[in-house]
Structure 1
């Protein structure tokens, strides 16, 4: 909390405010003065621009969200400064993967395995967003996601705890920059606290049940690191958590968030989530819902209006202590103080900066670089890729060949519509003879089109290679878009079978916001590129990889399953008492499905390059001293004809522990650029803290004993093994 003059200012304001003004500071509403697109969530508590401005002037609004533009921001702030106490507004938005310039979805960016790149991307996005009159982003999503049926997998960093931790910190630092009071800094909001991604059946908004150990070991660490990096806000999960909805869950929001993690910032309900306590069945009515939320630790009510409608009455009859309201108000005012809004209420509202920063050449170049580095080469039979830029007849087939409506993916409502580069445009721009590319849709996203398959088959027969652009539409991932079957839609699968039957080699350009089940002709294609939702630079980035102008360097942050029924699944699952062997994965009486082994089609960490990479000369010390470190060294050799970037991944397994441990856990990775025909050394180190886990008594500690270590280039199971022992220091005491 602020000290000195800032603290005195906050105390004076709290002392001067009426309960109605306090409730207003604790309320966040849709920005109806400068809306930027369609409302995703159900319409509740609808307003108009004039009505909203009147409420702002009356001091009944603390913050607004999902608006954009300096002119409207200045109009709103001017209204706030006409209120009795002249408390400025803070303006927020769901800036998830770009504002006006759309970057790859966060899951795609995670495939780059590069925290520095993620930090630079968030910093660039913050500069553009603040140039348009924003102070606060409802990002990053730091929910560890192990169920690909859940639509919001697209918004986070995937299934691994360590990668989520690193990217949570990188994105917070990028959004907030070195000083939150700077005009180009955005307050970051790691969300959703906590366990949101573990919903039943992967279904959005469903219930969550898990052990305390699982919560602490898997889902809390990215939040803890994000808060330690300075994040000043969080959003509570929508869900029921072990029978108590998070919006009313004092154990999570007060005991754990503030007590254990030491969080001192602002906790916001998600959209209308306090009113939803009635539907959950734990609040009798709206007033009861408001009471439960604020007493649990929700500082700010988003969109429902329950705090403005009911806090005054709740306080008057003693159902809510005024001290609880004042504590939340102080946190909100401290947030505004941290952003410098009391000293400069018009910060981030300069029309000249808006013109300079919006869709600047620099941010568009970075968006393209991130897109290129997010692509993952899953398969490349007989090195069919890269394709030559001349002398090859190419058929680009699929509903995404010329499509621009599905480049951006979810949470891109502020993006410049029509600015994205489609696949056909990107490919033609790099061909020596653009007419050597023939384009056919073949099918719609979900439905067949008249003569579509016949035309596609004719194009395939006349080509040397087919680029098959299939996958998910932009509205099939993100919030509210859970799927029971995580496959490519049937109409596109039928198209793929018909095209493959021609015998022309097929390269799949997969569009998706999650790991998908691949089967039939798509799975059996000569090559497969995971191209996600890459944003506006899609066509350019994909073309650069297809033609070898850039080499693929991405790796999967999520495992591609063999079947939808495997979900939830992650590479770091725990073993069982009857594990199946690699040699006989379908042996009866073992942990397996009757019709599928317990493995992924493409595991977390998988990703090929155009080089030929191998690990050599791995050296690992036999022991790690209790307070020492273990040095892991080796060489990556590239025997291929093309330069490549290796992702050296270090996994561990604790052989014997007081609680069952994952079969593999990522603990380090390093990117190594290796020129063709050359080799490069690498080194990583581990300490005792890297081996710690939640033990039976609930404490977090490492236990002495033997550990297996694996170095891999394409996910666990693909590398070289070693072992070491953690040796307890028995001399102390």
Structure 2
């Protein structure tokens, strides 16, 4: 602390520190690199030419490099270490898409607090998460990292994750910064191809894709990451409308903006810069504070200042934001990781128990014909079939960087441990993406089985960044295993292990039950086994639609109404009905948003709209009675959707505006109160003003997005003309 100036409150005086910094030291704070950088990292740190390092997950290495910064550089400014802690550090949670299936915000927040503790203990103060990109196209590999297709659900989960990552009571005096990414609309890449262009209207952007970012920043997220793609032909990392006009000016964000990995350098490949100097200038104009592995700021920014193209004032503003971030995270006082604490908490019983609970609630039951599940194992001969049944690495999922497969129980091992009294036989059958199956061995195994548990899907390396897929059927020849099981007549449970929705249309008819544990993390095996046995009652609900075929994509529930809707009689033209439909496929997904079965049977027994006429600034109150009509205890996810009957622009057929997950014992009935904030009813009108219009609205309450009409209410007009409330 002797190198730093303190203010009257005993805190680091950022302004006095800035005054002591040379230009090279200031630019250094804007530079982030990993250990693959082609320069002497340690010497760069000593010279004050590095402000941040990423992708270092070793507490001894963190502390060694931090010691150089604190003790050997001229001003002793600590480094900030950043990592992609997407769904766990050492203890691996289900992938974010799977977590969203829980619809349990408190549980997600609790689990992510656990993740924060592990990361902080090893010296990570900056988490490049949450990813809040809405995605309606599962061909895009990074759908695994987000919360699915819906703006409201995605916004709720984004806020929960920000609270968890930035909690100040996890390790006293230490805090981690959330980094909301990828700004913006990265999940709408054309064709579901990663890094591809995004072309959309400003209204779609504001109504669907931007709200999770805004909600996360309003929750206090300290940093934001730019995206790789171009938005309406302007690369996101050089998009001044997106980063300056909207983010800085309209939203008032004053935190740190960091580029994604080499995103500034990639402006050359986008064709908007001819060299790194031009790329640095474009990123400067967009007020990108930190260059992640782009080689633009460290080697070209100073010359741009000399030429008068970049102002010293902007440089000071960017450095100030970074120094404030480091101060607020406690780095000046506690810059080092805590190895003892790290070894104590990672993969601890407490952390594994939290992970198991989240994995339990992330599992989605899609089919349960003749109530084949739950399984009564005593005396049962069970064939566990498929290449993913004994794969500990794949169930951890993409971005499980520090996960330890050798300490992870496979699905097969969990079944062997849990199915008391059963005889378990395992046959791999084929490789995940192989071209041949061991048909004779499989047929023989089925001949000696009373039940087949067929574990198929994707490896961890088939989803995530740069892992887009044009074809979403089961890879390789895995489907032939399901064919053999079906033709044998042996009752079959199809277990889908994946990082995205797959096309299951041809498979679900060949299985008696279909259950999805996704890439469920460190406790995926145990969670699945307990769900199969009924020790845990599945309660997961889909946060994204499962398409019938790739030709439907993107398919999502909240699509706009059309002039020739499928449900109407159709317009007679050329002596035929004309409707918005496919000639060769259904309009609807195989499984819709919000869908998921339970071993319990739930029913909505009464709905009361307390205030059927409201003003434009009054909350809507809806009372819902829900009952467990079975004897099996379970958890119901009650969902409420609204539809604007007549609006000034075409609006979605329905939109989620509230949900609640409640436990119900057998025969138990509870009442839920939904209070809907007026802003959830609004949209951007023809003049791009956020408005809540007067008029009638339909209400839908149930257990998925296909739920039936439940009632209506009216927002009263203030004049004869269509009125609206403009919200800031």
The TM-score, its normalising length taken from structure 1, stands at 0.94
Structure 1 pair 283/55, CA: closer, same or farther in 2 (3 Å)? same
Where does residue 105 of structure 1 map in the other structure? 95
Among 307, 314, 324, which residue is 1:317 paired with? 307
Q: Report the secondary structure of 2:199's partner residue.
A: coil
Which deviates further from its counterpart, 66-75 or 287-296? 66-75
Q: Report the secondary structure of 1:535's partner residue.
A: coil
Q: Report the secondary structure of 2:686's partner residue.
A: coil
Among 408, 416, 423, which residue is 1:420 paired with? 408
Q: In structure 2, how many angstroms separate the alpha carbons of the residues matched to 1:112 and 1:403? A: 24
Contact 2:276 2:295 in 1 (8 A): no
How far did residue 16 of structure 1 move? Answer: 2.0
Where does residue 483 of structure 1 map in the other structure? 469
Among 241, 250, 262, which residue is 1:251 paired with? 241
Which deviates further from its counterpart, 294-303 or 721-730? 721-730
Contact 2:174 2:331 in 1 (8 A): no
Q: In structure 1, how many angstroms separate the alpha carbons of the residues matched to 2:12 and 2:104? A: 42
Contact 2:174 2:329 in 1 (8 A): no
How far did residue 567 of structure 1 move? Answer: 1.1
Contact 1:181 1:338 in 2 (8 A): no
Q: In structure 2, how many angstroms separate the alpha carbons of the residues matched to 1:6 and 1:224? A: 33
Among 177, 181, 186, which residue is 1:187 paired with? 177
Alignment of structure 1 residues 117-156 onto 2, 5 Å: 117-156=107-146
How far did residue 523 of structure 1 move? Answer: 4.5
Contact 2:435 2:476 in 1 (8 A): no
Q: In structure 2, how many angstroms separate the alpha carbons of the residues matched to 1:207 and 1:706? A: 38
Structure 1 residue 548 corresponds to structure 2 residue 540: no
Contact 2:380 2:421 in 1 (8 A): no
Which deviates further from its counterpart, 69-78 or 97-106? 69-78
Which deviates further from its counterpart, 99-108 or 18-27? 18-27
Where does residue 594 of structure 2 map in the other structure? 605
Where does residue 218 of structure 1 map in the other structure? 208
Deviations 1:301-322 (A, max 9, x none): 0012221111111111112111
How far did residue 676 of structure 1 move? Answer: 1.3
Q: Report the secondary structure of 2:488's partner residue.
A: coil
How far did residue 642 of structure 1 move? Answer: 0.9
Where does residue 354 of structure 1 map in the other structure? 342
Contact 1:615 1:719 in 2 (8 A): no
Contact 2:435 2:477 in 1 (8 A): yes
Q: In structure 2, how many angstroms separate the alpha carbons of the residues matched to 1:181 and 1:333? A: 21
Structure 1 pair 205/362, CA: closer, same or farther in 2 (3 Å)? same
Alignment of structure 1 residues 612-691 onto 2, 5 Å: 612-621=601-610, 622-691=612-681
Q: Report the secondary structure of 1:188's partner residue.
A: strand
Structure 1 residue 80 corresponds to structure 2 residue 72: no
Kindly report the root-mean-square deviation, in angstroms, between the aligned alpha carbons of the 2 structures: 2.1
Where does residue 530 of structure 1 map in the other structure? 516
Q: Give unpaired runs (5+ residues) of structure 1.
A: 33-42
Structure 1 residue 431 corresponds to structure 2 residue 419: yes
Contact 1:105 1:513 in 2 (8 A): yes
Among 562, 567, 570, which residue is 2:556 paired with? 570
Structure 1 pair 360/458, CA: closer, same or farther in 2 (3 Å)? same
Structure 1 residue 447 corresponds to structure 2 residue 434: yes
Contact 2:69 2:77 in 1 (8 A): yes
Contact 1:137 1:188 in 2 (8 A): yes
How far did residue 640 of structure 1 move? Answer: 1.7
Contact 2:453 2:495 in 1 (8 A): yes
The TM-score, its normalising length taken from structure 2, stands at 0.94
Contact 2:12 2:327 in 1 (8 A): no
Among 492, 495, 506, which residue is 1:506 paired with? 492
Structure 1 pair 181/336, CA: closer, same or farther in 2 (3 Å)? farther
Deviations 1:549-608 (A, max 9, x none): 0100100000001101111121101111111128999x9621111211211110010011
Contact 1:101 1:364 in 2 (8 A): yes
How far did residue 730 of structure 1 move? Answer: 6.0
Contact 2:641 2:657 in 1 (8 A): yes
Structure 1 residue 467 corresponds to structure 2 residue 453: yes
Structure 1 residue 386 corresponds to structure 2 residue 374: yes
How far did residue 654 of structure 1 move? Answer: 0.5
Structure 1 residue 260 corresponds to structure 2 residue 211: no
Aligned residues: 711
Q: In structure 1, how many angstroms separate the alpha carbons of the residues matched to 2:669 and 2:444? A: 46
How far did residue 73 of structure 1 move? Answer: 1.6
Deviations 1:458-495 (A, max 9, x none): 22222122111011111111000111111211401122
Structure 1 pair 523/718, CA: closer, same or farther in 2 (3 Å)? farther
How far did residue 391 of structure 1 move? Answer: 2.4
Structure 1 residue 56 corresponds to structure 2 residue 45: yes
Which deviates further from its counterpart, 15-24 or 108-117? 15-24
How far did residue 646 of structure 1 move? Answer: 0.7
Q: In structure 2, how many angstroms separate the alpha carbons of the residues matched to 1:574 and 1:563? A: 21
Where does residue 12 of structure 1 map in the other structure? 16
Contact 2:117 2:170 in 1 (8 A): no
Q: Report the secondary structure of 1:601's partner residue.
A: coil
Where does residue 39 of structure 1 map in the other structure? none
Structure 1 pair 187/523, CA: closer, same or farther in 2 (3 Å)? farther
Structure 1 pair 599/95, CA: closer, same or farther in 2 (3 Å)? same
Where does residue 30 of structure 2 map in the other structure? 26
